[in-house]
Homo-oligomer: A and B are copies of this chain.
């Protein structure tokens, strides 16, 4: 630690589970960048006050934003990227040279980059997403830039799925988007099936969808990082499907973050 060390943060409540301070401080070290990331534990009602003050700390340059601040911080930003605008959520902020707050959301692009980075292909593929919440919206939005053939959104609350479809087709008129209910869906017309719900995070969670319904050549992707081998991915592996781990969505965000922060 030096007087000149640049300080970044990871703002959350609760704080005990966050991994970003460890991950990014270690990346800074490896890249020989004089910077650290500290955990910043702030209750929801204090977010605005703290963010306005961090603006006044001249050696504080940005932070990753997680639960429960992702939506509320977007309202404090002077500028949002398209992903943050579409999702209404921000997972990284920085202060620009005028100390204005800039908010981005790298979840969607992170998923895409991670998926392509494992040498899977999205072009002309029929993609299915389970979920219509934060992560699903981010991934669906990012998918509209990837020349997929079609998108199917499957969600318990089917209205939420239709709402997402509507928003997506405003942006990308020619994209074919289907919506299904979780009680009645087919998957044998899909090449890539993504779990973008939180099912799999907790021990007793049910499997988010029936892998038996997928074709032998389909790829099963999860966004759950912990545990690495979710019930879904274990089942898919046993049935001989190609699988894609949740960790890649976060890991491949680091390149995007470095560009955003202009540090690598």
Contact = CB atoms under 8 A, between A and B. Distances in A.
Interface of A: 1-5, 7, 10, 15-19, 21-22, 25-26, 36-43, 46, 49-50, 52-54, 56-60
Contact of A36 (B1, B17, B26, B40): B1
A204 to B, nearest CB: 24
A42 B55 CA distance: 10
A193 to B, nearest CB: 32
B15 A1 contact: no
Contacts of A37: 1
A23 to B, nearest CB: 9
A58 B36 CA distance: 19
A37 B53 CA distance: 18
Given A3-B15, A21-B2, A22-B3, A49 B53 contact: yes
Contacts of A38: 1, 5, 7, 36, 38
A1, A43, A50, A56 interface centre (most CB from chain B within 10 Å): A1
Given A3-B21, A21-B5, A40 B16 contact: no
A50 B5 CA distance: 19
A37 B3 CA distance: 10
Contacts of A25: 1
Contacts of A46: 53, 56
B36 A56 contact: no
Nearest to A15: B3
A38 B39 CA distance: 12
